[in-house]
Chains A and B, each alone.
Chain A
Amino acid sequence: MKPVLLIDFGSTYTKVTAVDVDAPRLLGTANSYTTVQTDINDGLADALKKLEARTGTLDFCARYACSSAAGGLRMLASGLVPELTAEAAKTASLGAGAKVLKTYSFKLNEDDADEIRELNPDIFLLVGGTDGGNTECIIHNARVIKDIGGDYPVILAGNRNAARTCAKILEGREVHITENVMPSFNVLNTEPVQKEIREVFLNRIIQAKGLSKATELLNGIMMPTPSAVMAAIKLLAEGTENQKGIGDLVAVDVGGATTDVYSVAEGLPDDPRTALRGLPEPYIKRTVEGDIGMRYSIRGIVEAAGLKKTAAIANLSEERLNEIVDLFAAHTDLLPSDDETQRADEALASMAVRVAMTRHAGRMSEIFGLGGLQLIQTGKNLLNVDQFIVTGGSLIHTEHTGRIASYGFFDEEDPGSLKPKHCTVLVDRSYIIAAMGLLSQYYPDAALTILKEELVKDDGTK
């Protein structure tokens, strides 16, 4: 046996997962409260004690960790046109596992400056202009960032013709210059900026967040938890050199504060005559809905989905549902305790899945012109994706997971939304996706075997 320990320092819980990489299997999981305020190792030690109470003493040959503790990797970004470089900056940051607090477009004004000062991010990403294009906006914004002060690093990934000028303006600050996130019109170049974000996270953020004490115990690099989840999703879809993956998929993580959606698929139109509009879509895409979550952002679910509709699904009166929503929002650690709160929880989770999937998936619209019907697609076409992975407390701790997940599928009432038509639902019952993403950095085959073993099919009959 060759046991490996995977640790996820979350904002509330420190989750530990033990696996055997020799004969790949899950040995056990446990969790405890994250103790980032005092010594992060206290929470870890407690979780480990619980784990070993179940598995017996383990002699770990390696320990790896990811973290979303202390607010995660908090980023702000500014670009020029909202649909172009500003969107590109957001897409790139989300793909690097960041929590994007806000994305600004055009020139930053005094109010923006006040807000940025208040938000005090971990990283500011400054972009704008294609190479050889607009330089005025990014130079203006660099001046604003300089005047705001603060000591967070700034990553420059805009028009290369303005990079040196911006760096000069920001002299004295930690500045990283990298390739333009949109080097020419409508071309996305996210990898260089994502690499820079990861490096800043490793070299700086871990120190700043009091996580460095834990790194002494660790063998490998830390990564932001969403990056670990993305690595697992990619591995599961694509496989390794020795083992086939399961192919295109969608994954939804309904959390307490946000709902994350991942898709691995090209997402191109079925009909080649369809015109594509908007930014090119990344093959592996992550979107985060900051207003959709089961506790902190529970109000956002009813606001987006409608109280009436949600109440109908829960089979509760609107007044009663409203009361339960208020209760969950006020007591974020509360779990459903009776039939009514359970039904409300499931209806809210269903709506969270539907809203987040509708925002993540692309859209098809029809235009009648002189040449007849013309189809226009924006975003990703996920109609043919046939595997749907779900995780998050409200989905994995109920027997109705399949039914809740089906709210993320194609909906006859909204046929323009390109959500998956027929899907097998795979449930992350043991809550191991992030841990397997970490493991995949060192033992991809073991991680894939365990993922395939532990993700449970739900045929939605319950």
Chain B
Amino acid sequence: MEKQKKTLVIGVIGADVHAVGNQILYHAFTDAGFNVINLGVMVSQEEFINAAIETNADAIVVSSLYGQGELDCRGLREKCDEAGLEHILLYVGGNIVIGKQPFEEVEKRFKAMGFDRSFPPGTAPEVDIAYLKQDLHVED
């Protein structure tokens, strides 16, 4: 049964130490039936990738709350490609950019960086979960 579960690697990228949202996501995703590898806070791109390789993960869900998300996330998709994770789903969410910018533009920029989906501040975990299930073809 265990291996039927989809595996997610989650964590807060860069030098960001915001731990609360990360814990909430961990519990929400676990309760929703995912196998969650939680890397916690201050996670480098390499750590996301290494964990995803070893656990054969289906998606990497990156959080960033301190405004440096765009810098921290740049190149993650390319590194995934390099590491043989061409088909892995990439999500990002939180306060991923500085200041008030229209989220459509932010989303477009992250899309160009190779993120399949990005989520604005205040997104409820249920929203992410619904998209994850849709993108990973998980039936309820």
Contact = CB atoms under 8 A, between A and B. Distances in A.
A133 B15 contact: no
Given A132-B7, A132-B35, A376-B42, A371 B17 contact: yes
Interface residues of B, number: 21
Given A132-B2, A132-B7, A374-B15, A185 B56 contact: no
A132 B56 contact: yes
Interface stretch (B46-54, B73-81, B86-94, B115-123): B46-54
Given A185-B37, A369-B15, A369-B17, A81 B54 contact: yes
A367 B42 CA distance: 10
Interface in A185-204: 185-186
Interface string A131-166: 111110000000000000000000000000100000
A161 B4 CA distance: 12
B66 A133 contact: no
A369 B54 contact: no
A182 B50 CA distance: 13
A369 B3 contact: no
Nearest to A88: B54
A130 B54 contact: yes
A133 B3 CA distance: 8
B41 interface: yes
Contacts of A186: 51
Interface in B14-72: 15-17, 35, 37, 40-42, 50-51, 53-57, 66-67
A81 B42 contact: no
Contacts of A135: 56
A161 B5 CA distance: 14
A318 B54 CA distance: 47
A80 interface: yes
A84 B17 CA distance: 23
Interface SS of chain A: loop
A376 B5 CA distance: 33
A129 interface: yes
Contact of A134 (B16, B37, B53): B53
B56 A275 contact: no
A132 B54 contact: no
B22 to A, nearest CB: 13
Given A185-B37, A369-B66, A374-B17, A84 B2 contact: no
A287 interface: no
Contacts of A185: 37, 51, 54-55
B55 A81 contact: no
Contacts of A83: 50
A182 B54 contact: yes
B54 A129 contact: yes
A370 B71 CA distance: 15
Interface string A112-128: 00000000000000001
A185 B16 CA distance: 22
Given A132-B35, A369-B15, A275 B42 contact: yes
Given A185-B37, A185-B54, A132 B3 contact: yes
A369 B56 contact: no
A34 interface: no
Contacts of B57: 133
Contacts of B54: 80-81, 84-85, 128-130, 133-134, 182, 185
A185 B54 CA distance: 8
Interface of A: 80-81, 83-85, 128-135, 161, 182, 184-186, 275, 367-371, 374, 376
9 contacts: A81-B53, A129-B56, A132-B3, A132-B5, A134-B54, A185-B54, A185-B55, A275-B17, A370-B66
Given A80-B53, A134-B55, A184-B55, 20 more contacts: A80-B54, A84-B50, A84-B51, A128-B54, A130-B55, A131-B2, A132-B35, A134-B53, A134-B54, A134-B56, A182-B54, A185-B54, A275-B17, A367-B15, A367-B42, A368-B15, A369-B16, A369-B66, A370-B15, A374-B15
* Top 7 A-B pairs, shortest CB-CB distance: A369-B15, A133-B55, A134-B56, A133-B56, A132-B3, A81-B50, A185-B37
